[in-house]
């Protein structure tokens, strides 16, 4: 994990920096917070210190802080320097190389990648001076994230909102991730499918989509172009990922096969329903009219098998969600489907798999000895292990 210096400047969006610090810590990063005097009018030092687990720096020449770690040592310590939010004033300082407070001095002294998340009034954002400053920073290699568009705290509507924190987090993590998938097009499917019985009832499963979304996010961080075909889930779209939402297995098949010709890697993590009602009723089935209900089910298309049959040079990874005989069932599925790898996990366990933040998997290849056990870890880490194995296959 990385050492992140999070610099908070004085806008109303400063309160969102608190949540970003918490998210960074939750993902294992070490965080130090630098705040301007104006930022501390919006959020307290105590809040930022509690969330970061380290003292908050806010003065350039602060004797007690300098005795522990000087501002130059802090600039050297940082592996990523993220300004969240970045006001118009701070953008001007950064663009013109001013160093009249701790934040701007650190930005000038550090050799770490610079991430800037602008947040301000729409007219300030659109002003030619602000646009020129952003252009200058981008040309120097700064990563500009946002801003978003919508209703602003000042009452105006337009550009200027701090972009979603997930997007900022993704860009920060990209700074420390080797772009090993640059030039690759990664197709991922995720989540369940939902097969209608009538207008209000469906057949589905317990898949949350978190594993597939983690893979899509990790692939994007590594520089890939990512297409994510998702069943109905309550998850935000990972930053930099093209998302296609579907409901049924038939819709998922159509979307996956449409995206397949461009894909160099296909990772099919979705829990596609094996069966669907033969006929969906046009109106709601009334409970009062019958004591029992029988459904006639028909097989859904086998998306993994069709992808393998049409893949060309695409590396294909399937998933096996099992409740028993994990390795044996994974090997049988690999042989039956003909894909390059199968990722198997035990969904009978409450601590991993469906609806959990953590997972434990076996990555199974075609040779008997080609089995890699990935112990219990966050799904983001599991995703990284899967992509590492995919890259090994592609380098053969």
By annotation, the residues acting in catalysis are: 154
Euclidean distance between CA atoms 35 and 384, whole angstroms: 33
Buried b (16+ CB within 10 A) or exposed e, 11-33: bebbebbbebbebbbebebbbbb
The Cβ of residue 189 has, within 10 Å, a number of other Cβ atoms equal to 32
**Virtual torsion, Cα 107, 108, 114, 118, nearest 10 deg:** 60
Q: Shortest CA distance to 354 belongs to which of 193, 207, 205? A: 207
Q: Shortest CA distance to 147 belongs to which of 129, 165, 128? A: 165
Q: Shortest CA distance to 5 belongs to which of 147, 107, 101? A: 107
82, 173 contact by CB (below 8 A): no
Pairing of strands 358-364, 371-378: antiparallel
């Amino acid at each position: 994990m990385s050492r992140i210096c999070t610099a908070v400047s004085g806008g109303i969006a400063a309160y969102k920096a608190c949540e970003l610090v918490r998210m960074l810590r939750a993902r294992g990063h070490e965080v130090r917070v630098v705040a301007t005097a104006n930022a501390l009018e919006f959020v307290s030092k105590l809040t930022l210190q509690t969330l970061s687990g380290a003292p908050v720096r806010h003065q350039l020449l602060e004797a007690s802080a300098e005795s522990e770690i000087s501002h130059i040592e802090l600039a050297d310590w940082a592996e990523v320097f993220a300004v969240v939010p970045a006001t118009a004033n701070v953008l001007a300082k950064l663009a013109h190389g001013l160093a009249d407070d701790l934040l701007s001095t650190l930005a000038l002294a550090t050799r770490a990648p610079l991430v800037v998340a602008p947040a301000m009034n729409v007219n300030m954002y659109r002003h030619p001076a602000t646009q020129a400053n952003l252009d200058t920073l981008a040309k120097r290699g700064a990563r500009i994230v946002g801003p978003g568009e919508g209703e602003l705290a000042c009452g105006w509507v337009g550009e200027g909102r701090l972009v979603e924190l997930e997007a900022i987090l993704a860009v920060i993590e990209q700074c420390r991730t080797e772009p090993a998938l640059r030039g690759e097009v990664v197709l991922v499917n995720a989540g369940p499918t939902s097969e209608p019985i009538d207008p209000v009832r469906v057949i589905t499963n317990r898949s949350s989509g978190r594993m597939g979304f983690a893979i899509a996010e990790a692939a994007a961080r590594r520089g890939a172009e990512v297409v994510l075909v998702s069943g109905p889930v309550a998850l935000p779209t990972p930053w930099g990922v093209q998302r296609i939402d579907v409901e049924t297995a038939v819709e998922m098949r159509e979307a996956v096969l449409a995206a397949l010709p461009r894909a160099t890697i296909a990772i099919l993590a979705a829990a596609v329903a094996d069966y669907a009602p033969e006929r969906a009723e046009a109106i709601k089935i009334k409970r009062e009219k019958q004591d029992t209900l029988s459904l006639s089910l028909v097989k859904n298309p086998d998306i993994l098998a069709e992808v393998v049959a049409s893949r060309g040079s695409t590396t294909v990874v399937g998933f096996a969600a099992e409740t028993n005989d994990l390795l044996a069932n994974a090997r049988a599925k690999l042989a039956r489907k003909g894909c390059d790898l199968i990722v198997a996990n035990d969904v009978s366990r409450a601590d991993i798999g469906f609806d959990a933040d953590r997972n434990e998997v076996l990555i199974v290849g075609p040779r008997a000895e080609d089995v890699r056990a990935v112990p219990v870890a966050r799904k983001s880490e599991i995703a990284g292990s899967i992509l590492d194995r995919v890259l090994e296959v592609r380098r053969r």
